[in-house]
Chain A
Amino acid sequence: MTAPLLKVTDLKKAYGAIQAVDGVSFEVMPGEIFGVIGPNGSGKTTLFNSILGQISPNAGAIELHGKTITGLSPLELSRRGVGRTFQTLQVFGKMTVRDNLIVAAQEHQGSMLGRLFAPPDSGLGAKADALIDQFRIRHVAHSLAGTLSYGQQKLVDIAMAFMAEPDLVLLDEPCAGVNPSLVGGISTLLKNLNRHPKFGKKASFVVIEHNMDFVMDLCHRIMVMVEGRVLAIGTPAEIRGNKAVLDAYLGN
């Protein structure tokens, strides 16, 4: 019996009279890919932002490795091994792809003053190159990230979340706006990162996504949210066969 990596208990967040997240509880096991699906406005992103310290929940507890992380800042969470991507593209447009990756991990080592005298790539060059190759963006490694196509930027965006060897990565719609051929590529990348960790650590993911084929194929377990509540949690097969889920979401 392993202990859960992430444990969310009875999380609540209201915006005025609207209960965006209304008593959500779930656990993510080490090495697991956990999907979160639900219609627009069902509270997925609010749930993410609460876990990630962007907003503070009204009630409930969030634990990482059994330690409470409720209300910690995004900075602190990053340092504790929680990586993330955003719903929209968030790369540093005026930096090269390689520098984007390096800056994504440089603050996880050494001291502030030490970094002033560290080499320009903070000794992370080899690691960045490994991810660049894995994500197949070698040909644009020295281009400014802002000049790349949407799909390429999306790959950079995802790669950045893995530079600091996180234990847990929260991905907010990794396939949004990505063309179908790249969706398969992202899926494979995430599976490989999950199963064959590059840097000796097995990362767990929580993935929000609307692309059902992608979610069903990628995730070990899936949580369905409707109106801020958990409708069901189960394996892809269980979710597919769940009548309530079909009625509330998939059936539409």
Chain B
Amino acid sequence: MTTPPDEPTAPPPQGGASSGPAKPVPRLHLNKTISVLTAVMGALLFLVAPQFLKNYGIYLLTYWLVFIIATMGLNLTIGYAGQKSLGHAAFFGIGAYTVAILMKAGFSFWLGLPAAALICFAVGLVLGFPALRVQAIYLAFATLGFNTAIWLVMRNEEWLTGGTFGINNIARPSLFGLSLDGNLAYYYFVLAVALATSALLWGLLRSPWGKAFTALRDNPIRAESLGIDIRNYTLLSFAIGAAYAGVAGGLFASLVQFIEPAPFAVSASIMMYLMVVVGGAGYFLGPIVGAAVGVVLPEWLRDVPGVANWYLPMFGAAVVLLMVWLPDGLLSIPDRLRAKREAKKASMARAQAAGKWGAKS
């Protein structure tokens, strides 16, 4: 048996370990302050804006909020955990139909909404399993197949879903005796849910789970070698993302008051994926921007005189340009500017150093 020899002598070439205690980097704090300020101002805007809008405007804002909630979940799945899902609209649909069917059966909306979240969580967990075997484009196709299957159920199982006729006259709930029937009241309710769900997601991403999701996205093999159970986190990223879509779907059903299979088809999943990417996958506020581009912008373009006939090609062209020039999404612009600034600073420093060595002739 060999035992290791004692203490081979070697001088510490870099000196000991003494760089002092951890010092916070001010820029990070500034960034945080800016994000918090933006968030607060955004929230205020959402709070005040509808007062100046007509019914359709309020409806559109609510629609936007619903898609923000849905794509927040998808941003967790795609942006933070790196799981390419093209089945998000299926969960959105499951949430909508859960609320609609339960309400038609005489249950309260307040039972329907949590049920929508729970059912989507469970189905999302199941959909996560293919992701344990396949990744990237193959995973996208697997989830796309799932979406098609769910869509077919919505269309064909008339006894449950009403088929292509859908389910109509879905009521809006009332809260503590306060009716949310009016567009403005319902808007504020959806805003409250959006704020609550973003706060939850913020907390989740700040917790060790957030780091584990990011580790899973950046490098699953390394993550596993560090004891991170990538199986659990993969499944959870799908399940939590799906639960968000479920809540959004439930709110959607009660907002539009009539649902049929079309808004839950694969094309809607692709659109949601687009929203996440356009806003900036992995940016917390990305879904707000992305959903604005995906939901509000097309509506607005449609109403601009002279553009009405062109809004779809224009929208398409804008997305193509965006993907070419800003593949990381709109919210990556500040990061890009900063990187540019730092590169400039570095090359200036290099030039100066070169000058000192007399490189200039």
| A residues whose Cβ falls under 8 Å from a Cβ of B | 1-2, 4, 27, 29, 31-33, 52, 73-75, 77-79, 83-84, 86, 90-95, 98-99, 102-108, 112, 115-118, 120, 122, 125, 129-130, 132-134, 136, 138-139, 141-142, 160, 163-164, 184-185, 187-188, 191-192, 195, 217, 220-221, 235
Contact = CB atoms under 8 A, between A and B. Distances in A.
A90 B208 contact: no
B3 A191 contact: no
A138 B19 contact: yes
A116 B236 CA distance: 12
Contacts of B14: 136, 185, 188
Given A92-B219, A133-B19, 4 more contacts: A107-B212, A136-B14, A185-B14, A191-B8
Interface of B: 1-5, 7-8, 10, 12-14, 17-22, 24-25, 28, 204, 206-212, 214-215, 217-219, 221-230, 232, 282
A194 to B, nearest CB: 8
Contacts of B210: 120
B1 A120 contact: no
Contacts of B28: 142
Nearest to A76: B227
A105 to B, nearest CB: 8
Contact of B215 (A83, A103, A132, A187): A103
Contact of A112 (B7, B206, B211, B229): B229
A132 B228 CA distance: 21
Contacts of A116: 204, 207-209
Contacts of B1: 1-2, 4, 27, 29
Contact of B208 (A79, A115, A136): A115
Contacts of B229: 75, 107, 112
Contacts of B212: 103, 106-107, 115
Given A78-B224, A90-B221, A136-B17, A120 B214 contact: no
21 contacts: A1-B1, A2-B3, A31-B4, A52-B225, A75-B229, A78-B224, A90-B221, A95-B218, A103-B211, A103-B215, A104-B226, A107-B208, A107-B212, A107-B226, A107-B227, A108-B227, A142-B25, A188-B13, A188-B14, A217-B8, A220-B2
A74 B14 CA distance: 33
A174 to B, nearest CB: 15
B13 A117 contact: no
Given A78-B227, A164-B227, A95 B214 contact: yes
B341 to A, nearest CB: 13
B224 A118 contact: no
Contacts of B224: 73-75, 78
4 closest cross-chain pairs (CB), A and B: A78-B227, A138-B19, A90-B222, A92-B218
Contact of B228 (A2, A103, A220): A103
B14 to A, nearest CB: 5
